């Protein structure tokens, strides 16, 4: 099989950037060019202020950038020169047309595929890195073959990415597995072997698994669906805990010790966020419906419905604790990112909560250690509404610290599990002194020691633990 010398990655986003930077670091003899249409993003990748925050990413980029790693807007040139091309563009949920709200918008994948077909003058291995519906490789193949120059051969591989944000670099350096799907032909297997060699520079061969391309595509959707389903399951149980006096952390611990269940991804929360879970499940729902499998579709849809319910349920608990009205009350939001250690806010539960609080006429002050201010405004403005920003800014402000956000607030709501929000890190006595009384804390991430905070004087309400009305002092 062919030895890869030049790689092009189309899409310098959360996946393309870190993944191909690690590939470059581990394969100093392979030239890796990451391209994007977004010139500003490329400029940041070439500066000291990378466009995404990811622990360890700076060091990885610094090691290879300018040596065998390049970031460029020269999409065409990079495609022409490459032996292997990763397609790592965005595949958001469609918001209009057939499948709106469910199906993946494959417009960016198709545009990139057409560009490859149009430009290629030598054989290329084209790798689906984006998460796509099962059988997308088939569409890509038809487009490539219909537009290929005579004598140019394309092999298509599926190589889904399993990294999670916030831990992208360690996930890439020590992956549980690398998955490569190919057509079950001699050429398909040879292409898979060429890509496997790239990963084998640092991943043990036994963890690089190859399979048929459709299994590989579906495995990515399946893995995300399983993970999200665990969270919805534990969140569904958290509602039972709150109503009965059971403690969700104890239930997770007890269940997680069963080696068949395992302890990971059983942390109850205000709801899952991130660019993948909801999008990929809805994609699976749409796929199931297209295949005339409505029961299957309904089964997976419930995972997303439960997540929406969790956000609503937590908000309702906040409203009822605050004497059934939020009008004019100041709510401090601790954390706006969808999880800790990232500045990403896509589908962050905080966005939904702030919208609910606005509808209740609360005043909201937001603090997050990594999210850019401009991003928060963008997330909270309703698209298409003129003058939304001035109205929004009458109700919402952005604070420079947790202390500032909580100043004169009626309640603190923890939306992201940043380490710095723990009661061992923040001075909650100072926060308490600055707040209106009674001072409430709503812990949507189970990061606080309830007892310690109650001692300070806070009224504490935690997801998955019984509310004030159910608490029995004898047992506390």
The item of ligand NAD, ligand UDX, none sharing an interface with residue 188, based on CB under 5 to 8 Å by kind, is none
The verdict on 335 binding ligand NAD (CB under 6 A) reads no
Rounded to 5 degrees, φ, ψ at 70 are -135, 140
- Cα(233)–Cα(109) distance, rounded to whole angstroms? 33
Rounded to 5 degrees, φ, ψ at 226 are -60, -45
The item of ligand UDX, ligand NAD, none sharing an interface with residue 339, based on CB under 5 to 8 Å by kind, is ligand UDX
Rounded to 5 degrees, φ, ψ at 8 are -120, 140
Peptide bond into 269 cis (omega under 30): no
- Please check whether residue 247 is in contact with residue 465, taking contact to mean a CB–CB distance below 8 angstroms: yes
Q: Taking CB positions, which residue lies at the least distance from ligand UDX?
A: 274
The verdict on 161 binding ligand UDX (CB under 6 A) reads yes
According to DSSP, the β-strands at 154-158 and 330-334 are: unpaired
Site for ligand NAD in 108-167 (CB under 6 A): 108, 111-112, 130-131, 161, 163, 165
Exactly one of 4, 7, 10, 126 binds ligand NAD (CB under 6 A); which one?
10
Q: Where do the H-state alpha helices sit in 330-465?
A: 349-359, 373-380, 388-395, 402-406, 428-434, 450-456
- Please check whether residue 380 is in contact with residue 349, taking contact to mean a CB–CB distance below 8 angstroms: no
Q: Where do the H-state alpha helices sit in 245-380?
A: 248-256, 277-290, 294-321, 349-359, 373-380
The item of ligand UDX, ligand NAD, none sharing an interface with residue 311, based on CB under 5 to 8 Å by kind, is none
The verdict on 276 binding ligand NAD (CB under 6 A) reads yes
Count of C-beta atoms within a 10 Å radius of residue 147: 17
Count of C-beta atoms within a 10 Å radius of residue 136: 24
| Of 215 and 424, CB closest to ligand NAD | 215
| Of 53 and 108, CB closest to ligand NAD | 108
**Binding site membership for NAD(+): which residues?**
11-16, 36, 41, 89-93, 130-131, 165, 276-279, 346
| Of 52 and 117, CB closest to ligand UDX | 52
Interior angle at CA 5, CA 2 and CA 9, nearest 5: 105
Residue 414: strand, helix, or coil: strand
Exactly one of 37, 119, 152, 164 binds ligand UDX (CB under 6 A); which one?
164
**Binding site membership for substrate: which residues?**
161-165, 220-224, 260, 267-273, 338-339, 445
Q: Is 276 a catalytic residue?
A: yes
- Please check whether residue 463 is in contact with residue 248, taking contact to mean a CB–CB distance below 8 angstroms: yes
Site for ligand NAD in 31-60 (CB under 6 A): 35-38, 41
Q: Give the closest residue to 31 by CA, choosing from 198, 258, 233.
A: 198
| Of 118 and 162, CB closest to ligand UDX | 162
In the complex, the smallest distance separating the C-beta of residue 269 from ligand NAD, rounded to whole angstroms, is: 17
In the complex, the smallest distance separating the C-beta of residue 88 from ligand NAD, rounded to whole angstroms, is: 5
Cα torsion for 38, 44, 50, 52, to the nearest 10°? Answer: -20
In the complex, the smallest distance separating the C-beta of residue 110 from ligand UDX, rounded to whole angstroms, is: 22
Q: How far is CA 284 from CA 14, 92, 102, in A?
A: 22, 13, 8
| Of 140 and 426, CB closest to ligand NAD | 140
Rounded to 5 degrees, φ, ψ at 32 are -120, 120
The item of ligand UDX, ligand NAD, none sharing an interface with residue 231, based on CB under 5 to 8 Å by kind, is ligand UDX
Exactly one of 339, 406, 446, 465 binds ligand UDX (CB under 6 A); which one?
339
Query: DSSP state, 463?
Result: T
E runs forming strands in 159-229: 178-182, 208-212
The verdict on 272 binding ligand UDX (CB under 6 A) reads yes
| Of 10 and 380, CB closest to ligand NAD | 10
The verdict on 227 binding ligand UDX (CB under 6 A) reads yes
The item of ligand UDX, ligand NAD, none sharing an interface with residue 9, based on CB under 5 to 8 Å by kind, is none
Exactly one of 16, 18, 175, 273 binds ligand UDX (CB under 6 A); which one?
273
Exactly one of 4, 7, 8, 15 binds ligand NAD (CB under 6 A); which one?
15
The item of ligand UDX, ligand NAD, none sharing an interface with residue 269, based on CB under 5 to 8 Å by kind, is ligand UDX
Exactly one of 41, 267, 317, 330 binds ligand UDX (CB under 6 A); which one?
267
Q: How far is CA 90 from CA 242, 268, 275, 417, in A?
A: 38, 29, 10, 26
Residues sharing a CB contact under 8 Å with residue 167, sequence separation 6 or more, in sequence order: 55, 341
Instruction: Take residue 102 and report the two structure tokens written for it.
Output: 């469910």
The verdict on 68 binding ligand NAD (CB under 6 A) reads no
By annotation, the residues acting in catalysis are 276
Q: Where on the chain is the footprint of ligand NAD (CB under 6 A)? A: 10-16, 35-38, 41, 75, 88-91, 108, 111-112, 130-131, 161, 163, 165, 275-276
Chain residues in the site for ligand UDX (CB under 6 A): 161-165, 224, 227, 231, 265-267, 269, 272-274, 276-277, 338-339
């Amino acid at each position: 099989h062919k030895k890869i010398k030049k790689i092009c990655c189309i899409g310098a986003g959360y996946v393309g950037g870190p993944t191909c930077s690690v590939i470059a670091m581990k394969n100093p003899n392979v030239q890796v060019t990451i391209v994007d249409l977004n010139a500003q993003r490329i400029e940041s990748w070439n500066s000291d202020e990378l466009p995404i925050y990811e622990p360890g990413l700076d060091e990885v980029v610094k090691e290879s950038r300018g040596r065998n790693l390049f970031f460029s807007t020269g999409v065409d040139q990079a495609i022409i020169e490459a032996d292997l091309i990763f397609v790592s563009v965005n595949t958001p949920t469609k918001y209009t047309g057939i499948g709106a709200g469910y199906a993946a918008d494959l417009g960016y994948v198709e545009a990139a595929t057409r560009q490859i077909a149009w430009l290629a003058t030598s054989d290329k291995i084209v790798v689906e890195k984006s998460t796509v519906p099962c059988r997308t490789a088939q569409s890509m193949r038809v487009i490539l073959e219909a537009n290929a120059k005579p004598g140019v051969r394309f092999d298509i591989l599926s190589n889904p990415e399993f990294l999670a944000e916030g831990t992208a670099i360690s996930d890439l350096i020590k992956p549980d597995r690398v998955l490569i799907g190919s057509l079950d032909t001699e050429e398909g297997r040879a292409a898979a072997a060429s890509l496997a060699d790239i990963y084998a520079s640092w991943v043990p061969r036994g963890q690089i698994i190859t399979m048929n391309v459709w299994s590989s595509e579906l495995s990515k959707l399946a893995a995300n669906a399983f993970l999200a389903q665990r969270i919805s399951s534990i969140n569904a149980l958290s509602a039972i805990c709150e109503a009965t006096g059971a403690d969700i952390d104890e239930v997770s611990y007890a269940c997680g010790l069963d080696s068949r269940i395992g302890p990971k991804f059983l942390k109850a929360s205000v709801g899952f966020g991130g660019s993948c879970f909801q999008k990929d499940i809805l994609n699976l729902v749409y796929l199931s419906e297209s295949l005339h499998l409505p029961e299957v579709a309904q089964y997976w849809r419930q995972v997303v419905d439960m997540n929406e319910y969790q956000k609503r349920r937590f908000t309702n608990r906040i409203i009822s604790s605050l004497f059934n009205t939020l009008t004019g009350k100041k709510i401090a939001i601790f954390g706006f990112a969808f999880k800790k250690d990232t500045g990403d806010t896509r589908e962050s539960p905080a966005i939904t909560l702030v919208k609910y609080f606005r509808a209740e006429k609360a005043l909201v002050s937001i603090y997050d250690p990594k999210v850019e201010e401009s991003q928060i405004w963008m997330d909270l403005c309703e698209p298409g509404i003129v003058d939304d920003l001035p109205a929004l800014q009458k109700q919402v402000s952005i604070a420079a610290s947790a202390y500032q956000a909580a100043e004169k607030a009626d309640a603190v709501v923890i939306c992201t599990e940043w380490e710095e929000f723990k009661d061992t890190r923040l001075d909650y006595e100072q926060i308490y002194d600055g707040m209106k009384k009674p001072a409430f804390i709503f812990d949507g991430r189970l990061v606080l020691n309830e007892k310690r905070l109650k001692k300070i004087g806070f009224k504490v309400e935690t997801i998955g633990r019984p509310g004030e009305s159910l608490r029995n002092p004898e047992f506390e």
